[in-house]
Chain A
Amino acid sequence: MKENGTFIKRAMVIGGGIAGISASIDIGNAGYDVILVEKLPSIGGKMLQLSETFPTLDCAQCTLTPKTVETGQHPHIRLLTHSEVEGVEGKAGDFTVKIRRKAAYVDWGKCTGCGLCQEKCPSKKPSEFERGMGTGKAIYTLSPQAVPNKPVINPSECRYFLEKKCRVCEKVCPVGAIDYEQEDRFIEEKVGAIIAAVGFDLMPMETFGEYGYGAIPDVIDGLAFERINSASGPTTGQIRRPSDGKVPKEVVFIQCTGSRDPERYMPYCSRVCCMYTAKHARLYKHKVHDGQVYIFYMDIRSTGKGYEEFIQQGMEEEGILYLRGRVSRIFRDGEKVAVWGVDTLTGKKVEVSADMVVLATAIIPQGEAKGLAQKLRIHVDDYGFFTEAERKLRPVETDREGIYIAGCAQGPKDIADAVAHANASASKVQALFAKH
């Protein structure tokens, strides 16, 4: 590759989820260098938390891990994980990006990824990656297959940082990689194009008073169900509810929690909930044969390839009960969770005494998306999703040349759409580089 001295043909991808990974691999395969910046210690994003994916029901990690490994080993991709973009200057072909490399308190150059520090760390807290279930340590990697497989210390949970004692990880580390004195570092990278692919978050359950403000232990969100159902999750894939570990026999799923509710929450459709709820229900039935599933829905939106067939199969062959209507209230009733809703097709009030409730909470932008948009000087919509240059014909470009968007940062998408969006973004970058 020729570097002509004026137009830098190196790309930066911000966000290491499936969109950022796909874009990075595409650009790297074209022979251009890519710097992939990820705020978490390893790449993979939300998809790494999923158990199986619709409509094929294949294992998310089995499909994703080859991609993360490829990214980690790609000769043209440089990973800057545990890092955040601080500032962006310049224009297409000549951006200068200031990056904060957050202190890991582990010298990744020395670390071999043996995992001994995590095994011995005495600080045990509910794991964020496991959506508050399972056990997380103060020194951790997000998963055993993390790329890069290097741990970081969370100083807000580490005994040494909190109480100035412990230092167990330092003692057990066979290569002396622990460094409590490490500080955030700032570096500058020069790139010619940037893809912002910072993904999404879920509306917090604390938002929903009518559903118990997130305080009922057996009311969980979709990502928590993914973790419960995942072989690598806190229950090793057995469907057990958080409060007492019992196998739930009556499970209620509530779609559109926070979506399509212009008066109170988000007016838009989050697009993936109909499908993942159907997937959850089916996976649950595959594991708990005598369990009963109730799904409260507003409409079923299954417009992707093979999606409607997937829903129909659940209804017809797996006995999943779909109730068209909303749930007005959920509360804890002894060991049960009382669910009050309505079936608008029969006009009857429905009360379910459930063992567990799964809320398909709305997809919202990442908290830092707005700040990043300001640094990139691109627009966001009313909710904080990045705005594309033109809704129909320029879906991955922004108003600024050389800055592109990919994945759920632009709006809710399923995996297939996020990957297609990222592929399109990467091809725009390649075209830009090829032109100069």
Chain B
Amino acid sequence: MDYLYFPGCTLYTKAKNFDQTARDCSLLLGFQLKELPNWTCCGATFPLATDNIMALLPPSRILARAREEGTTLTTLCSVCFNVIKRTNRLIRNDGDKRDTINNFMETNYQGDLRVLHYLEILKQDVGFPRIQEKMKKPLTGLKAAPYYGCMLLRPFEEMEFDDKEKPTLFEGFLEAMGAEAIDFPYKIECCGSFQSVGSPEVATECGYKILGSAVKNGAEVVVSTCPLCTFNIDHKQADIKQKYLDFKPIPVLYFTQLLGIAMGLDYQTLGFGQNFVDPLPLLKGKGFI
């Protein structure tokens, strides 16, 4: 089966490794990511003001165009996923907003796309047992901390991704690959998000706490689902180190990079050069590459 794929801006720049590994893994698992033609920015935030129609237009445009191409849309970035899924739900449930948006854009989109995060495809459509079958190099002995962040889960009523306080989907995925999923209390906390632009010290503190909590609970690697989270908890580790002297760097990988290793892809195609903290010593030490 093929899925319409909305990459989002960062997947072509800072998170090329996420994009590439997701595409490569999908082929091995028997599905293809069909990139949406002429896609634009997702809008980057879901508007909190109820009358802010303008902010809903970018995701609405993406949805309307995607509907012309198919029925299921997937994303990798948690922020894009959050904005697109919530907009889709709003268009489906709010007739007035739907009319306003459609009139403005001269479209007729009814909110009937299925919007999935890549992890949901792995869970719902592929199934973890099948992933287990595809393991060439099971990640036995790897202590991996699943970092959900907040955008996948909240608001719970709209995202319907997993239990908002105690999700287990990501853990199930890591365990299917043979890794040990490390539970840590900060797995559902915010990475600092866009605060890294205006108030970098806020984001630095978030990163310090999240990574510290993962390490304290025994993690060797933190696994991310989102380029923005990765920016804050991986690329910002130099800033964290500068501010917090006791901080010890820890590799942060996209879940698709781990999946690539476990399914036997050549590690040189997995884009580890883009990871700020070099994961190779850990992966080599564990005998995975």
Q: Which residues of chain A have a CB within 8 Å of any CB of chain B?
A: 209-210, 213, 329, 331-334, 338
Whether B165 contacts A210 by the Cβ 8 Å rule is: yes
In the complex, which residues of chain B have a beta carbon less than 8 angstroms from the beta carbon of A331?
A: 185
Q: How far is the CA of A205 from the CA of B216 in the complex (A)?
A: 27
- Cα–Cα distance between A37 and B84 once the two chains are bound (Å): 58
Residue on A nearest B165 in the bound complex, by CB:
A209
Contact residues of A: prevailing secondary structure: strand
Q: Closest A residue to B184 by CB, please name it.
A: A331
Q: Whole-angstrom distance between the alpha carbons of A416 and B164 in the complex?
A: 40
A338 and B189 CA atoms in complex are apart in Å by 14
Which one of A210, A213, A331, A333 has the greatest number of beta carbons of chain B within 10 Å? A331
- Residue of A209, A332, A333, A334 near B163 (CB, 8 A) is A209
Q: Which residue of B lies closest to A209 (CB)?
A: B165
B164-195 interface code vs A (CB 8 A; 1 in, 0 out): 11100000000000000000010000000000
| Complex: A188 Cα to B259 Cα, angstroms | 68
Chain A residues lying within 8 Å of B166, measured Cβ to Cβ, are 209, 213
Task: List B contacts of A333 (CB < 8 A).
Answer: 185
- What residues of A have a CB within 8 angstroms of the CB of B165 in the complex? 209-210, 213, 329
Collect the chain A residues with CB atoms within 8 Å of residue B216's CB: 334
- Inter-chain contact B185/A338, CB cutoff 8 Å: yes
Closest to B185 in A: A331
**Chain A to chain B: the 3 pairs with minimum beta-carbon distance, closest first:** A209-B165, A331-B185, A210-B165
Quick one: closest A residue to B163, CB to CB? A209
Of the A-B pairs whose beta carbons lie under 8 Å apart in the complex, a sample of 13, sorted by A's number, is: A209-B163, A209-B164, A209-B165, A209-B166, A210-B165, A213-B165, A213-B166, A329-B165, A331-B185, A332-B185, A333-B185, A334-B216, A338-B185
Roughly how many angstroms separate A22 CA and B165 CA in the complex, as a whole number? 44
Nearest-neighbor residue (CB-CB) of A213 within chain B? B166
Distance in Å: Cβ of B187 to nearest Cβ of chain A: 10
Shortest CB distance A17–B (Å): 34
Minimal beta-carbon separation of A341 from chain B (angstroms): 15
Closest to A334 in B: B216
Q: How far is the CA of A253 from the CA of B47 in the complex (A)?
A: 35
Bound CA span A334–B213, Å: 11
Q: How far is the CA of A334 from the CA of B184 in the complex (A)?
A: 11
CB distance from B247 to the nearest CB of A (A): 18
For A213, the chain B residues whose CB sits under 8 A away are 165-166
Which residues of A lie under 8 Å from residue B164 when comparing CB positions?
A: 209
Most buried by A among B163, B164, B165, B216: B165
Complex Cα distance, B277 from A273, in Å, reads 50
Alpha-carbon distance A332/B184, docked complex (angstroms) = 9
- Chain B nearest CB: distance from A209 CB in Å? 3
Taking the closest CB of chain B, its distance from the CB of A274, in whole angstroms, is 26
Residues of A within 8 A of B163 (CB): 209
Complex Cα gap A213–B185 (Å): 13
Q: Report the bound CA distance from A334 to B217 in whole Å.
A: 9
Per the bound structure, the CA–CA distance linking A331 and B163 in Å amounts to 15
Q: List, in ascending order, chain B residues with CB within 8 A of A338's CB.
A: 185
Report the Cα distance A338→B185, complex, angstroms: 10
Closest to A208 in B: B165
| B185 neighbours in A (Cβ, 8 Å) | 331-333, 338
Q: Looking across the interface, which residue of chain B has its beta carbon closest to that of A331? A: B185
User: Once the chains are docked, how many angstroms separate the CA of A331 from the CA of B185?
Assistant: 7
Residues of B within 8 A of A209 (CB): 163-166
With both chains docked as a complex, state the minimum distance between the C-beta of A196 and any C-beta of chain B, in angstroms: 37
Q: What separation, in Å, do the CA atoms of A329 and B185 have in the docked complex?
A: 10
- CA A329 – CA B165 in complex, angstroms? 9
When chains A and B are docked, how far (Å) is the Cα of A210 from the Cα of B166?
A: 9
Given contacts A209-B165, A329-B165, 11 further A-B contacts (CB under 8 A): A209-B163, A209-B164, A209-B166, A210-B165, A213-B165, A213-B166, A331-B185, A332-B185, A333-B185, A334-B216, A338-B185
**What B residues does A329 contact at CB under 8 A?**
165
CA distance A329 to B154 in the complex (A): 14
Shortest beta-carbon distance, B145 to chain A, in Å? 15
A352–B43 alpha-carbon span in the complex (Å) = 37
- Considering the chains assembled together, what is the distance between the CA atoms of A213 and B163 in angstroms? 11
Alpha-carbon gap, A108 to B7, bound state (A): 74
Nearest-neighbour CB distance to chain A for B153, whole angstroms, equals 11
Complex: how many Å from CA A329 to CA B213? 16
CA distance A330 to B166 in the complex (A): 12
Q: For residue B192, give the distance in angstroms from its CB to the closest CB of chain A.
A: 15
| CB proximity of B167 to chain A, nearest CB, Å | 10
Query: How far does the Cβ of B28 sit from chain A's closest Cβ, in whole Å?
Result: 36
Per the bound structure, the CA–CA distance linking A170 and B122 in Å amounts to 58
Which residues in B have their C-beta under 8 angstroms from that of A332? 185
A210 surroundings in chain B (CB, below 8 A): 165
Nearest chain B residue, comparing its CB with the CB of A332: B185
Task: Report how far A333 CA is from B213 CA in the complex, Å.
Answer: 9
Q: How far is the CA of A8 from the CA of B129 in the complex (A)?
A: 68
